[in-house]
Structure 1
Amino acid sequence: MSRTADYTIQGFLYQFNKTALEILRAQDDDIVTVEGIVEDIEVVTPEAMTAIQCKYHEAKASFTASAVYKPLLQMLKHFSENQFANISYVLFAHFSGTGTQTPSIEKATLEAALASRDKAFAKHISSIPSDIDLDRFLERFIVESGPSYDEITKSVGDELEVNGMPKGDVETLAYPNAIQIIATLSVKHNPLERQTTKKKFISDLMAIRTTAISRWTLALKTREKLIQARRKQLKVHLDKNARLRYFVIDPNSIEDYGAEIVLFVSDYIDRYHFKPAHIHTPIFCICANRSEIQEIQHRLYLKGISTTDGYIGGQFEESYFFREPLCSKGSRGEMKREFSIRILSWGDRGKVLNDRKCDDLFIIGEPDCNALARISHEGIKESG
């Protein structure tokens, strides 16, 4: 990954951390909107609203006013449309070389932003009335110098502990799940769905007993600890022999899916479905069309793994799909099964999984399979 890409990801994570701080430091029923209609974070109390723009500039050694023209112009537009509302505006910005020194934003800075000839700002400038009262805006505006990335993550951890999270759970359970909850909220289209309260946020975190593994949590500096914690959590279920397991897999959110899917299935069979005591045939339901499923079946066959997809003469038969495989012993006493896995196309026949409740449901990637939300005794989600 390039340094620029790394800074981009850290920029998102920095904003998620700031959002977490705002939620954890709010009153129980204050409404916090992640990715507000205009601002990155909006905190609404019964008396007022605080609109926060969060900017992370680790690659810039010192503060430059032009680097914050865009958020300033966005705030000015919002102010011009809400001049009589009780709204405070906060620019929360981190520049690697400024330390704790707060950058200065004055009337001249705003005037320079409005007079900019940069085409990237033209749309924003044209939407702001020429007679906007900059002095009045500055009365409602403050700029805060954001701490370093490491410092803000520590602050979130401290606040989680203050709000009742056991200290031993913060680093590998509460903190990564807090970031994942915020990341999930941030991509919802309806602003109302991006809202939460401190009370709900804490309640949701308290209810989660497994560590979210996603592109966001894997980008955290505690990546290795998270993976180790996840392995321990999964081991509790995977070490049990008699468990019926469903895997729902979304190829579009998995890196190197084409190269890895057959290896994944093969490794699973070698580790968790080879003993006579492994009596439940796992089901792999993939968000792919039937021809793609057949291609995977052929690749598995070449690796010595037989499958069933429930089709007879071009017709799907549910009873045939769910039948138990014939078993025998090989010449060396090894278990030989008619088939080792059941495989399905989600779009084709995935909903038949609703007819048989599993013990463990593994959702790998980000498939749209809400219809399966209640089919398992225990659900385990791995995001791509």
Structure 2
Amino acid sequence: MGRSADYTIQGFLYQFNQTLSELLKATDDAVITIEGIVEDIEVASFAGTKAIQCKYHETQENYTPSILYHPLLQMMKHFKSNPGAKIHYHLFAHFPNIPAIGISATELNGALKSKNKDLKDLIAEVAGVDVDGFLKVFSISVTPKYDELMEQNARQLEAHGFNKGEVEALFYPNAIQIIADLSIKHDVKLRKITKKDFLEWLRRIRSTAVSQWTLALKTRQKVLETRRKQLKENLSMNVRLRHLVIFPAFLGQFDDQIVLFIKSFIDKYHFKITHTQTPLFALDVAQDVFDGIAERLIGKDVVPNHGRPVKTFSEVYFFREPMVQKDKKEFALRLIRWGDYKNLVFKTKADDFFVIGDGDITGVDVKDVNLEILGAERFDEIKYMMGMSNAY
């Protein structure tokens, strides 16, 4: 991941951490909207609404008010459009080595007179705003560095009764994941949550979320190690029906690694005669890519059953058990395209359903199935979590 991508993700993570901070400070029944009316966070309580924006500039060495013109104009636009509303506008900002930032009528008028072409339309919409009236309901705070905010949130979780030994690798990353998941909901009503509901949701979770967000946290190593321990119990069982769906879109080196990954799984978890449940791999790839992977597996002496004795797919052929000659099975796995998998009717559900990579499994019946989502972007991390290697 390049430095610019690092800083982009860190900016989102800072916003998620600031949201978590607001959640943990709120009253139990206060309604928090992730990415609310003025973009980032909204907290509604009996006292009114607090609309929050977060701007994190870790690499911006020199501060000038113009850096904040866009969020200030956005807030003034909303203020102008909602006269009489009980809304307080708060801007959280971080710049290195800047202990305090003041916003007065001078800075706001500077934003309204800006010649920045990217702000032209927004400035036109804000024309005529009551600057003095806006200042009465506006405040700005300089926020701590990312690491400090993360540590504060961890301490807040402990203060809310979460086990100190589990905060770092279980509750904190899952709290960030809940907020990240809410932030992408299209319906604003689905992005609302109360502190009480959030904490209840968090307390029910017993497995660590693995995604681009949790693996970008400072606790990445702990997340991987903890997830490995959580998966070990079920993966160590000999008789366990496992389905693995693999989404390649954000998986690094998918074409180079997919055959090696499948072979490593078979070598680890389906090599004994006592391993009686044939694993199923569903790949979200085009037919020609799928056929190429099947051919390459055969070349590695890992024979797949892809349900096609000739050309036409046959469920009977696909779901039959492999013939066994001495210690050699006719085929080592079932292999199917993800689009075809979704159309199958299963007589027996999987014991474990692994989702590898970033993909949508909406519509798949996972009731009474152990669902394991491993949203990592590298096969070496996935293999480590699944106990197929000892390093990543």
Which TM-score tier does this pair reach, normalised by the shorter chain?
Answer: over 0.9
Deviation of 1:374 (Å): 2.2
Please say if residues 360 and 376 of structure 1, whose CA atoms lie closer than 8 Å, have aligned partners that are also in contact: no
Structure 2 unaligned regions, length at least 5 = 377-392
Q: What is the CA–CA distance in structure 2 between the aligned matches of 1:189 and 1:377, rounded to whole Å?
A: 28
Q: What is the CA–CA distance in structure 1 between the aligned matches of 2:195 and 2:372, rounded to whole Å?
A: 25
CA deviation vs aligned residue, 1:322-363 (integer Å, no higher than 9, x gap): 11101123xxxxx31110000111212433264421111101
Matched, 1:318 2:321: no
CA 338–375 in structure 1, closer or farther in 2 if over 3 Å, else same = farther
- Pick the aligned partner of 1:337 from 329, 333, 343: 329
Equivalent position amino acid for 2:201 in 1: D
Query: Which structure 2 residues correspond to residues 1-384 of structure 1 after superposition, within 5 A?
Result: 1-98=1-98, 101-128=99-126, 130-329=127-326, 335-352=327-344, 354-384=346-376
Equivalent position amino acid for 1:29 in 2: D
User: Residue 52 of structure 2 aligns to a residue in which SS?
Assistant: strand
Q: What is the CA–CA distance in structure 2 between the aligned matches of 1:205 and 1:262, rounded to whole Å?
A: 37
User: Residue 358 of structure 1 aligns to a residue in which SS?
Assistant: coil
Deviation of 1:199 (Å): 1.5
Deviation of 1:168 (Å): 0.9
Which range is displaced more, 134-143 or 346-355?
Answer: 346-355
Please say if residues 290 and 348 of structure 1, whose CA atoms lie closer than 8 Å, have aligned partners that are also in contact: no
Q: What is the CA–CA distance in structure 2 between the aligned matches of 1:345 and 1:3, rounded to whole Å?
A: 35
Which range is displaced more, 353-362 or 210-219?
Answer: 353-362
Deviation of 1:39 (Å): 2.5
Equivalent position amino acid for 1:345 in 2: R
Please say if residues 361 and 376 of structure 1, whose CA atoms lie closer than 8 Å, have aligned partners that are also in contact: no
Structure 1 unaligned regions, length at least 5 = 330-334
Deviation of 1:154 (Å): 0.7
Please say if residues 169 and 222 of structure 2, whose CA atoms lie closer than 8 Å, have aligned partners that are also in contact: yes
Q: What is the CA–CA distance in structure 1 between the aligned matches of 2:330 and 2:209, rounded to whole Å?
A: 36
Count of equivalent residues: 376
CA deviation vs aligned residue, 1:142-161 (integer Å, no higher than 9, x gap): 00110011110011111111
- Residue identity (%): 46
Please say if residues 285 and 350 of structure 1, whose CA atoms lie closer than 8 Å, have aligned partners that are also in contact: no
**RMSD value over aligned CA atoms?**
1.5
Deviation of 1:28 (Å): 1.7
Equivalent position amino acid for 2:290 in 1: I
Equivalent position amino acid for 2:151 in 1: K
